[in-house]
Amino acid sequence: MTTLRLATAVLGLFLVSVALTPLAASAQDARLEAARKEGKVVWYTSLALTSSEKVAKLFEQAYPGIKVEVHRTGSQRILQRVMQELQANIKIVDVIHTSDAGHYVLLKDKKLLLKYAPAGIERFPAAFKDKDGYHFGLRATVNVIAYNTKSVPAAEAPRTWKDLLDPKWKGKLVTAHPGYSGVIATHVLALVNLYGWDYFKQLAQNRPMLVQSAVDPSGVVASGERPVAANGGDYTFYQVKKKGNPVEIVFPKEGVPLVVSPTAIAAFAPHPNAAKVFTDFIFGKAIQQVLADSEGLYTGHPDVTYPADQPKLSDLNILRVDPEELEKRNEEIKTRFVEFFGA
Amino acid sequence: MAVEAGARRHPSWLEGLDRSAPVWALAAAALLLLILLPLGWLAYMSVSGERGFTFGHYARVFTDPRLQAALGNTLVLAFWSGIAAVAVGAPMAWLTARTDLPGARGIKSLVMASFVTPPFLGAFAWVMLAGPNAGYLNRLYRSLTGAEDPIVNIFTMTGLIFVVTLYTFPYVYIMIANTLGLIASDLEEAAAILGANRLYVALTVTLPMVLPAILGGFILAVLQALALFGSPAILALPAGFHTITTQVWSLFQYPPKVEMAAAFSVPLLLSTALLLLAQKKLLGRRGYASVGGKGAQRRIIALGPWRYPALLACLAVLGAAVFLPYGILAKAAFSRAWAQPLTWDNFTLGNWSFTFLYSSTQSAIVNTLELGVLTACVGAGLAALLAYVTTRQLVVGHQVLAFLTLAPVVIPGIVLAVALFIAYTRPPFLLYGTLWILFIAYLTKEMPVGYSQSDATFRGIHPELEEAGRILGAGRLRVLREITAPLAKSGIIATWCFVFIGVIRELSASIILFTPNTKVMSVVIFDLKEEGQFGAIAVLGLFMLVMTFGVVVLMQSLLGRDVMGGRASGAPG
Amino acid sequence: MPGVTITGLHKSYGDVGAVVGLDLRVEPGELVALLGPSGCGKTTTLRLVAGFLKPEAGEIRVGDRCLSSPAVVIPPERRRMAMIFQSYALWPHMTVEQNVAYGLRLRKASKADRERRVRDILQAVRLPGYGSRYPGELSGGQQQRVAVARALVVEPEILLLDEPLSNLDASLREEMRFEIRRLHEQFHITTLYVTHDQSEAMVISDRVAVLQHGRVAQIGRAEELFERPRTRFVAEFIGRTNLIDAVADGPSTVACGTVRLRVAATDLVPGAPVALSIRPHQIALRPGRAGGAATADNVLGGEVVRASFLGDSVDYQIRVAGSGTVLRVAGPTPPRARAGDAVSLLIPAAACLPLPDSVTP
């Protein structure tokens, strides 16, 4: 008798699960249908243009009928855009992705984000998740030093952040700007916590070339315009190096500032379903692996494997920055940087 | 003759009414709205604080050391660019207009090419040419001489002045070439007969007559330099200094300090107004030195052994403005790595596919063309209407109308953008985020150019041609349609082209007013620069130049005349 | 065919009065010339009549219609006039035929009618078959004829001409003068003709109105103006004259320094200042001192300052004995005296005209 009961229970369970599965599947289908009806997703992204475009094209291939509108600019500009548009009651953006964690503190506070957890996000490390479920880390990189191997022999290359203060590098450095880039804003705060503002005061005396985006220093160093980059996203240097440019990366032992770039859906998104489909897509293993392989990024996805020539995060001395602090001191970072560097 | 019953035979006021009056009134009203509304908001914002009226913003403008530095830098830039523009433009104008310089026509065309090149594109090209380490010229110099240091560093104030001069000297050139065209050479011949050599004649006879035009040209160049945004953003920011325009732009970063931007813009506005006033006083109401009649006989001065050195000097200037920049842009467009020589390895068409497949590019090109055509059509039409009204003095207060039409010249592009931003990001006209706000900005900015061109066109059409029509029985509007319009056609087309070209290359207003949906080509180029995408920038830049030159060639073939001469045909006989 | 009546016309530009209280009557079918130096207001008057300007005071009537007054100005297109301009004002983008037919098209004439009338008028101005040419291909004289054709073909009530011949060279001007007069005699349109050339005015017009400082100084037929000028200005403007300031010392005599003259007047007030006009050709010149009886009303002695041979006449400048006055005398060829010779001048009293309205400017 018990065997029969057991069998019935098992059968019942089986039948129920079979019955329920189409339900779960149809919920997905319904959302996809709605997404197709919406037709597009508008993505404000600070990820390098080539990388962003690649992601967009892959999504469009996977989901024909839904276009991705890529609007790439620096993290700080993205926030400016979002706030400016809101003020003028313009609602365009669906997915907001920057490299300044502080932004999301602000946006969440102002109730501008939609609570949405991409599929499979539970398996990501805590650093990549917002405990309230509004935003999640799409990618991560670290700030590094890089130099042009044609202009600088390996023996003379700078090895630490402090090395950059040496007067011999006067006129030979390039730095990106925290007023434009979230990666750099994070970097500046991390080093201020490490060495104080004096560090940047001294760095300024070496009169580095000022560029805006954290992507730009890689181009500057690759072309040889300045032999040494005083900061910049590791992934950008990795990309140009892979292309065959004479660039070498240095991971200073004092620590490399970790930049986790969050992404979120706008509360007022005009294409919410498409946005959700897109978000799921970019957190899926396929894309996360692409980010790791060809773009040189670190991700939170536990199943992603990294190229052999990328150091493991666990091997590096990571400097972390608290997003709340980043948000609170954002103005200070930008103002004092300009104070020292002039523009 | 008996006096008739006068009361019955006096015409009613209705009979005497000029039926074309409402048309002019409408045009005037449109103009007023266009100009006064944003400026009003600008003034209002500059003195509005949290608790109402305040002068606090102005106080900060004059005490904040960073803002002071920006002011100082702008003054230095504008002044020296003006001087250099005159130093380059005036002799070149004299050489092509008055001497037997070989290839004068070619030189003129090249100056025209420099005139239509967007300055920010030139600045960008010069980064690739004269960046202290990777710049082409510096690498060439180092490989030839083995030196360590570069010979030129474009990321300096001097570099910025250099680039700005390259693209403002055409204004001086045009102004002086036109004036020289009006001066009869008898005075110069008299001096020559008395034994003065060419240089002496030039210095002691020609120069004083042209002096008002030189000063006018200087002021014009200074005005251009003051308003530039792209070149300082590309050359000054990396070197760590701001100008007023870049500073205003940075005040818009989050959190935006719009009141400060407004207050900071007002001094810029006042200084341009003062400069224009000075220029008007110098040149009289016509805007050029009134010397002698039209098309007077001009003797060509023989340069003798100085012919080829002079030609070389002109070509050097034009090389710097046109050949070198276009060349390096072409190279970068086809290179994987712009700083490396263009070997077969380095050659790629990838930049082209990347640029044109980038969704922002496609929509930007469409936006630019749409805005260009719309602004040119409306602008040329409005300018023609207004120029007609003022040259024929059709309404009371036509001088005020002329003044208002030319007034936007006083407003630097970025200031206009700030004013429009303030005016149109709030009800009742919520235009921010649409192409309309850009349209208004472009229309306002290009009105003076359109108006000047149309004004010259109508002045070239004798009023008696219209009066002849009227006395034969045609009303004003009919005369306009059947007589004036056909004669003004070529001038109006020239106006259209000037406005169109002005719109395509506009950056300083667009950079404030665009949204991701309403990007234009210049903004896309600027965005790409911030990421350092040299290849894409070069491709888009070349594309922009091709578009511009296409319009120029179209204009010259349609009209068959020297566009820079500025004189319309149509006078009888 | 109506006439034009202008009463009390006033028009200023800023502070400058261009037309100051001008009165003028042009009879139906008459050609009146407005003659005067530049700045006298003749062109302004014409443009007021055409309706291009609005008067500040006064009236312009055509027939019994009041066309212009300070309150209302009927626009030019409704005044039924035609005008010929100094610059010809031919539309360069239209053919001769299109230029001439323009007014007819506005009057909605049928195609056949238009073609016929254009053909006829071109015939009348002696430009047959020029219809398909463009103004740019024509000479100055031909262009002016086209302008005339264009104005006449619409059969205007009033024809206005604004120095139409000034841009032509001298011989063409003479020829065109007669053309215009001939056409006027053919069509008899009430016409106002502005010119600064006195001989042109005298050839072309029925009456001449001499304008000075914005008003009519004198109006009349050519002979009238020439033989009986009423002001210094008119006397000097029409033909050459000698102007002498003298003082009346009898009802028909004046004294000028030590010289006494019998003049063409009978009502002079002794002691009153008199301006005299004596035409050069009315003075007879005899070589040598006059001897014996006075064979003329006035006999003056003098010395030849200069004698200029002009081909068909001789122009003498004679210093009158007993005064510093130099008189111009026009004599026939061959010259009767040379510089330095003593001569006698015989002047009939009828040639010494007192000028009644000597308006000093």
Q: In the structure, what pLDDT confidence band is assigned to residue B287 with cuts at 50, 70 and 90?
A: very low
Distance from CA of A186 to the nearest CA of B (A): 17
Distance from CA of B486 to the nearest CA of C (A): 7
Q: Any idea which of A301-305, B403-407, C205-209 has the lowest mean pLDDT?
A: B403-407
Is C5 in contact with B470 (Cβ distance < 8 A)?
A: no
Which of C236, C257, C281 corresponds to the end of one domain?
Answer: C236
> Nearest CB to B471: which of C50, C67, C136?
C50
Yes or no: domain A142-258+316-341 corresponds to CATH 3.40.190.10: yes
Query: Both C283 and C155 in a single domain?
Result: no
Query: Both C314 and C255 in a single domain?
Result: yes
> Is the predicted pLDDT of residue B566 greater than 80, yes or no?
no
Percent of chain C with pLDDT over 70: 97
Which of C174, C206, C236 corresponds to the end of one domain?
Answer: C236
pLDDT: is C237 or B410 the higher one? C237
Specify the fold of B55-332: MetI-like fold (1.10.3720)
pLDDT digits (tens, 9 = 90+) for A151-180: 899 999 999 999 999 999 998 999 999 988
pLDDT: is B6 or A261 the higher one? A261
> Is the predicted pLDDT of residue B22 greater than 80, yes or no?
no
> Nearest CB to B572: which of C50, C76, C135?
C135
Query: Both C69 and C25 in a single domain?
Result: yes
Residue of C nearest to B470 (CA): C77
A76 close to B (CB below 8 A): yes
Is A72 in contact with B255 (Cβ distance < 8 A)?
A: no
Q: How far is the C-alpha of A228 from the C-alpha of B493, rounded, in Å?
A: 53
Query: Both C204 and C278 in a single domain?
Result: no
| 8 A C-beta contact, residue C168 and residue C177 | no
Q: What mean pLDDT do residues B2-16 have?
A: 45
Show residues of chain B in contact with A340, CB under 8 Å.
Answer: none
> Is the predicted pLDDT of residue B8 greater than 70, yes or no?
no
Q: In the structure, what pLDDT confidence band is assigned to residue B297 with cuts at 50, 70 and 90?
A: low
Q: What mean pLDDT do residues B196-216 have?
A: 77
pLDDT: is A217 or B148 the higher one? A217
Q: What mean pLDDT do residues B474-489 have?
A: 89
Tell me if C361 is assigned to some domain: no
Q: Given a contact as 3+ CB pairs under 8 Å, which chains touch C?
A: B
Query: Both C284 and C303 in a single domain?
Result: yes
Q: Do chains C and A touch (3 or more CB pairs under 8 A)?
A: no
Query: Both C230 and C299 in a single domain?
Result: no
Q: Which of residues 199-228 of A touch B (CB under 8 A)?
A: 207, 209-213, 215-216, 218-220, 222-227
Distance from CA of B9 to the nearest CA of C (A): 6
What is the domain class of B19-53+345-573 according to CATH? mainly alpha
Residue of A nearest to B134 (CA): A225
Question: What's the pLDDT at B129?
Answer: 92
Distance from CA of C195 to the nearest CA of B (A): 17
| The pair of three-digit structure tokens given for residue B67, joined into one six-digit string | 């803002």
Show residues of chain A in contact with B527, CB under 8 Å.
Answer: 72-73
> Is the predicted pLDDT of residue C89 greater than 60, yes or no?
yes
Q: In the structure, what pLDDT confidence band is assigned to residue C289 with cuts at 50, 70 and 90?
A: confident
Q: What mean pLDDT do residues B33-60 have?
A: 83
Q: How far is CA C63 from CA A166, B391, C80, C186, C192, in A?
A: 102, 34, 12, 21, 15
Is B1 in contact with C5 (Cβ distance < 8 A)?
A: yes
Query: Both C207 and C102 in a single domain?
Result: yes
Question: What's the pLDDT at C291?
Answer: 60
Q: In the structure, what pLDDT confidence band is assigned to residue B5 with cuts at 50, 70 and 90?
A: very low
Domain harbouring C266, CATH code = 2.40.50.100
Q: What mean pLDDT do residues B315-327 have?
A: 94
Question: What's the pLDDT at A186?
Answer: 93
Q: How many domains does chain C have?
A: 2
User: What's the ipTM?
Assistant: 0.83
Show residues of chain C in contact with B1, CB under 8 Å.
Answer: 3, 5, 25
pLDDT: is B415 or B12 the higher one? B415
B250 close to A (CB below 8 A): yes
Tell me if C359 is assigned to some domain: no
Query: Both C99 and C190 in a single domain?
Result: yes
Q: Do chains B and C touch (3 or more CB pairs under 8 A)?
A: yes
Distance from CA of B7 to the nearest CA of C (A): 10
Specify the residue for token string 């005037």.
Answer: B28
Residue of C nearest to B2 (CA): C64
Residue of B nearest to A67 (CA): B359
Is C82 in contact with B472 (Cβ distance < 8 A)?
A: yes
Strands (E), chain A: 40-45, 67-72, 95-97, 113-114, 135-142, 145-148, 173-175, 209-210, 228-229, 247-250, 256-266, 318-319
Phi, psi of C253 (to 5 degrees): -135, 155
Question: One fold for both A32-139+260-311 and A142-258+316-341?
Answer: yes
3-state helix, strand, coil in chain C (%, to 5): 25, 35, 40
Q: What string of DSSP letters covers C179-196?
A: HHHHHHHHH--EEEEEES
pLDDT digits (tens, 9 = 90+) for B51-81: 778 888 888 888 888 888 998 999 999 999 9
Instruction: pLDDT tens for chain A, 343 residues: list them.
Output: 567 777 676 676 667 666 655 555 677 788 889 989 999 999 999 998 888 999 999 999 999 999 999 999 889 889 988 988 888 888 999 999 999 999 999 999 999 999 999 988 899 988 899 889 999 999 999 999 999 999 899 999 999 999 999 999 998 999 999 988 989 999 999 999 999 999 999 999 999 999 988 888 998 999 888 999 999 999 999 988 988 889 999 999 999 999 999 999 999 999 999 999 999 999 999 999 999 988 889 998 988 888 888 888 888 899 999 999 999 999 899 989 998 998 8
Interior CA angle at C24 toward C175 and C210, to 5°?
50
| Cβ-based neighbours of B34, under 8 Å, separated by 6 or more | B440, B443, B444, B447
Q: How far is CA B188 from CA B93, B176, B296, C113, in A?
A: 17, 17, 13, 59
Query: Which H/E stretch holds residue C13?
Result: strand C4-13
| 8 A C-beta contact, residue C98 and residue C146 | no
Is A223 in contact with B425 (Cβ distance < 8 A)?
A: no
pLDDT digits (tens, 9 = 90+) for C170-185: 888 888 899 899 999 9
Show residues of chain B in contact with C91, CB under 8 Å.
Answer: 465, 468-469, 483, 487, 572
Domain harbouring C127, CATH code = 3.40.50.300
Question: What's the pLDDT at B171?
Answer: 87
| Cβ-based neighbours of B512, under 8 Å, separated by 6 or more | B249, B252, B414, B417, B418, B421
| The pair of three-digit structure tokens given for residue A168, joined into one six-digit string | 């011999």
Domain that holds residue C333: 240-354
Which of C236, C251, C285 corresponds to the end of one domain?
Answer: C236
Question: What's the pLDDT at B569?
Answer: 31
Distance from CA of B385 to the nearest CA of C (A): 20
Q: In the structure, what pLDDT confidence band is assigned to residue C290 with cuts at 50, 70 and 90?
A: low
* Nearest CA-CA partner of A66 in A290, A287, A275, A283: A275
Is B516 in contact with A71 (Cβ distance < 8 A)?
A: yes
SS3 B195: coil
> Nearest CB to A222: which of B155, B253, B337?
B337
The domain locations on chain A are 32-139+260-311, 142-258+316-341
| Cβ-based neighbours of B91, under 8 Å, separated by 6 or more | none
SS3 C52: coil
Query: Both C47 and C137 in a single domain?
Result: yes
A113 close to B (CB below 8 A): no
SS3 B100: coil
Is pTM, for the whole model, over 0.90? no
Query: Both C114 and C29 in a single domain?
Result: yes
Handedness of CA A63, A64, A69, A73 (dihedral sign): positive
Q: How far is the C-alpha of A24 from the C-alpha of C321, rounded, in Å?
A: 137
Query: Both C255 and C193 in a single domain?
Result: no
Task: Give the highest mean pLDDT range of B56-60, B398-402, B403-407.
Answer: B56-60
Q: How far is the C-alpha of B84 from the C-alpha of B77, rounded, in Å?
A: 11
The domain locations on chain B are 19-53+345-573, 55-332
Strands (E), C130-233: 158-162, 190-195, 207-212, 215-220
Query: Both C296 and C336 in a single domain?
Result: yes
Is B532 in contact with A213 (Cβ distance < 8 A)?
A: yes
Q: In the structure, what pLDDT confidence band is assigned to residue B291 with cuts at 50, 70 and 90?
A: very low
> Nearest CB to B532: which of A207, A220, A331?
A220
Specify the residue for token string 């897109």.
Answer: A278
Distance from CA of C314 to the nearest CA of B (A): 39
Q: In the structure, what pLDDT confidence band is assigned to residue B163 with cuts at 50, 70 and 90?
A: very high
pLDDT: is B460 or A67 the higher one? A67
Q: Which of residues 519-538 of B touch A (CB under 8 A)?
A: 527-528, 530-534
| 8 A C-beta contact, residue B432 and residue B515 | yes
Question: What's the pLDDT at B571?
Answer: 29
Is B134 in contact with A76 (Cβ distance < 8 A)?
A: no
Question: What's the pLDDT at B572?
Answer: 30
pLDDT: is B262 or B88 the higher one? B88
> Nearest CB to C64: which of B4, B472, B487?
B4
> Is the predicted pLDDT of residue B563 greater than 50, yes or no?
no
Is C85 in contact with B1 (Cβ distance < 8 A)?
A: no
Question: What's the pLDDT at C306?
Answer: 92
CATH label, A32-139+260-311, candidates 3.40.50.300, 3.40.190.10, 2.40.40.20, 3.40.50.720: 3.40.190.10
Q: What is the mean pLDDT of chain C?
A: 89
Q: How far is the C-alpha of C216 from the C-alpha of B242, rounded, in Å?
A: 71
